[in-house]
């Protein structure tokens, strides 16, 4: 039986009370890949539907804006502010020379909440239906749907004690690992079935050729 998380009294606060919110790096135009570039950039495509940061195919590029880049740190939260998905992911390790695209917001727990806020818990709650419904109702635009910084800042977060946050964060991390493993198994099984189908077609074709049909 899965471990049941006991309900604890949680106070409700605006997200802006817990974190600072910074726009992504202001690249000039599209982010262009350059194998010899000085930095890497996280884009929306690098965040999975589960809220996992996918780091294997980050684009290497040059910083074209005037602003100093924010290098990603352990505990940072990245939020997709443009497009059809408004998901968050948590950075689980320091990532030197890695910044984020303008279509993302960078959230960092404020100094006064360090040690009392679990960023992975915060990421989990941002991705849950109550907050996602709020984003859907507040989104602007019809084609390039966006969540403005004030809308994100006003999102209401239920904040239990740190022990409860840590328990939920562990369950969330486990669910991401389990879903990723399941997806890998599904892909492997499909590849196996594709190979069987290919072999059957090849055998049938060889038989027809040998029989003169």
108-161 tens-digit pLDDT: 999 999 999 999 999 999 999 999 999 999 988 766 789 999 999 999 999 999
- The answer to whether the pTM exceeds 0.95 is no
CA atoms of 177 and 57, how far apart (whole Å): 19
What residues in the chain have per-residue pLDDT under 50? 1-2, 7
CA pseudo-torsion sign 120, 125, 129, 135: negative
Write down the pLDDT at residue 212: 61
Write down the pLDDT at residue 8: 59
Side-chain half-sphere exposure of 122, counting CA atoms within 13 A: 29
Question: Could you tell me if 14 and 159 are in contact, meaning their C-beta atoms sit under 8 angstroms apart?
Answer: no
- The domains of the chain are located at 11-160
Q: Considering only the top CATH level, what class is 11-160?
A: alpha beta
């Amino acid at each position: 039986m899965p471990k049941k998380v006991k309900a604890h009294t949680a106070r409700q606060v605006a997200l802006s009370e817990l974190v600072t919110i910074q726009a992504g790096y202001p690249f000039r135009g599209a982010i262009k890949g350059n194998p010899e570039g000085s930095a890497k950039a996280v884009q929306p495509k690098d965040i999975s539907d589960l809220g996992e940061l996918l780091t294997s195919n980050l684009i290497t590029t040059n910083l074209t804006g005037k602003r100093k880049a924010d290098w990603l740190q352990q505990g940072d939260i990245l939020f997709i502010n443009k497009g059809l998905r408004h998901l968050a992911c948590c950075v689980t390790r320091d990532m030197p020379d890695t910044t984020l695209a303008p279509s993302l917001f960078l959230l960092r727990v404020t100094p006064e909440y360090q040690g009392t806020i679990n960023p992975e818990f915060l990421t989990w709650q941002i991705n849950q239906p109550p907050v996602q419904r709020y984003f859907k109702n507040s989104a602007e635009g019809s084609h390039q749907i966006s969540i403005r910084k004030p809308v994100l800042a006003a999102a209401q977060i239920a904040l239990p004690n740190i022990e409860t946050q840590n328990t939920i964060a562990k369950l969330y991390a486990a669910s991401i690992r389990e879903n990723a493993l399941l997806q890998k198994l599904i892909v492997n099984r499909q590849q196996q079935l594709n190979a069987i189908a290919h072999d059957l077609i090849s055998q049938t074709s060889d038989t027809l050729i040998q029989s003169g049909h």
